[in-house]
């Protein structure tokens, strides 16, 4: 059980092994994504300080399925609100007051509504985190100091090493051709810069450039 979970988490982390290229602005990034997809790359991801308009289409991502999760949890909330009020007042401890019905739907609406909203909201947040695989304390991307700017003003394109067309040198060259300002190779061993063809390499191949950081090696 624990080891299978571990395996799943490892597979998740492995997705992020690959090349990370920095671009100057959202438009250049969007364009590079479109071009790499035209080249046949599919395991692409972008890292940006805010959601870039049109990026889902450029990456070919289907709309989020979160709505279905929220519909399910919201319906569960409505059902809970209904059953809670009906069972407590009409079944478990019926009290007859002024010959009023033990249960009626009209006065039950506010609590059914409130519980629907509560369950939906929890479903929306929980579902979003689950679909995104968050919280994720370890991620090889955190080895890259450069990528830290994706939460400030950096625009990054990631090509997964698991992509069928991935070839470290050729893919890096493709990224430079699309206007990448810098490219790094990120793996579980660290992040290392990848040089443009014909330029001296930045660092020895297996030496991690940066120490592990951020959310800790839990």
Partner 1 sequence: MATPASTAATAHPDGAPKTLEDEPLVRGNLSFHDVTELVASHTEKKTPVQWLLAFSVALGLMGVFGLALAYLVWNGTGVWGLNVPAGWGWAIVNFVWWVGIGHAGTLISAILFLFRQRWRTSINRAAEAMTLFAVACALVFPTFHVGRVWAIYFTLPIPNQMAMWPQFKSPLLWDVFAVSIYGTVSLLFWYVGLIPDLATLRDRAVKHGRMLRARVMGFFSLGWTGSNRHWRHYERAYLILAGLATPLVLSVHSVVSFDFAVSIVPGWHTTIFPPYFVAGAIFSGFAMVVTLLVVARKAYNIENLITLDHLEKMNIVILVTGTIVGFAYITEFFMAWYSGVEYEQYAFMNRATGPYAWAYWIMMSCNLIFPQLFWVKKFRRNIGLMFAISITTNIGMWYERYVIVVTSLHRDYLPSSWDYYSGTIWDLALYLGTFGLFSTLFLLFLRFVPMVAIAEVKNVLPQADPHFYGHGDGHHGHLEPVGATGALPAGPYPTAASETDEK
Question: Residue 50's Cα: distance from chain center in Å?
Answer: 13
Residues within window 95-124 making contact with partner 1, judged by CB under 8 A:
107-108, 110-111, 113-115, 117-118, 120-122, 124
Tell the smallest beta-carbon distance from residue 165 to partner 1 (Å). 19
Q: Does 93 bind partner 1 (CB under 8 A)?
A: yes
Tell the smallest beta-carbon distance from residue 211 to partner 1 (Å). 10
Output the CA torsion 65→54→137→125 (10° steps).
Answer: -40
Residues within window 65-84 making contact with partner 1, judged by CB under 8 A:
66-67, 70, 84
The stretches of the chain forming alpha helices (DSSP H) are 2-14, 26-38, 55-59, 66-86, 109-132, 168-177
Tell the smallest beta-carbon distance from residue 170 to partner 1 (Å). 19
Q: Does 196 bind partner 1 (CB under 8 A)?
A: no
- Phi and psi (nearest 5°) for 163? -65, 140
Q: Does 195 bind partner 1 (CB under 8 A)?
A: no
Nearer to partner 1, 164 or 216 (CB): 216
Q: Does 143 bind partner 1 (CB under 8 A)?
A: no
Residues within window 2-41 making contact with partner 1, judged by CB under 8 A:
22, 24-28, 30-31, 34
CA distance 157 to 37: 12
Nearer to partner 1, 50 or 204 (CB): 50
**Tokens coding 138:** 């370890």
Question: Residue 159's Cα: distance from chain center in Å?
Answer: 15
CA separation (Å) from 160 to 20, 187, 217? 9, 10, 22
Q: Does 140 bind partner 1 (CB under 8 A)?
A: no
Q: Does 205 bind partner 1 (CB under 8 A)?
A: no
Among 6, 7, 8, 51, binds partner 1 (CB under 8 A): 51
Angle between helices 109-132 and 66-86 (to 10 degrees): 150
């Amino acid at each position: 059980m624990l080891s299978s979970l571990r395996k799943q988490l490892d597979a998740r982390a492995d997705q992020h092994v690959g090349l990370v290229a920095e671009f100057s602005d959202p438009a250049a990034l969007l364009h590079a994504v479109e071009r790499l997809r035209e080249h046949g790359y599919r395991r692409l991801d972008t890292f940006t300080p805010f959601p870039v308009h049109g990026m889902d289409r450029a990456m070919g991502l289907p709309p989020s399925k979160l709505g279905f999760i929220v519909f399910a949890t919201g319906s569960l909330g409505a059902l809970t609100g209904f059953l809670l009020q009906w069972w407590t007042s009409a079944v478990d401890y019926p009290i007859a007051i002024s010959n009023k019905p033990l249960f009626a739907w009209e006065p039950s609406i506010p609590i059914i509504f409130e519980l629907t909203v509560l369950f939906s909201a929890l479903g929306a947040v929980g579902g979003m985190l689950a679909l995104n695989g968050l919280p994720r304390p370890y991620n090889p991307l955190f080895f890259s100091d450069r990528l830290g700017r994706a939460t400030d003003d950096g625009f990054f394109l990631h090509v997964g090493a698991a992509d069928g067309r991935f070839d470290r040198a050729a893919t890096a060259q493709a990224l430079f051709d699309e206007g990448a300002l810098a490219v790094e190779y990120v793996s579980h061993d660290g992040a290392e810069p990848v040089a443009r063809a014909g330029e001296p390499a930045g660092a020895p191949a297996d030496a991690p450039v940066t120490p592990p950081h951020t959310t800790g090696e839990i």
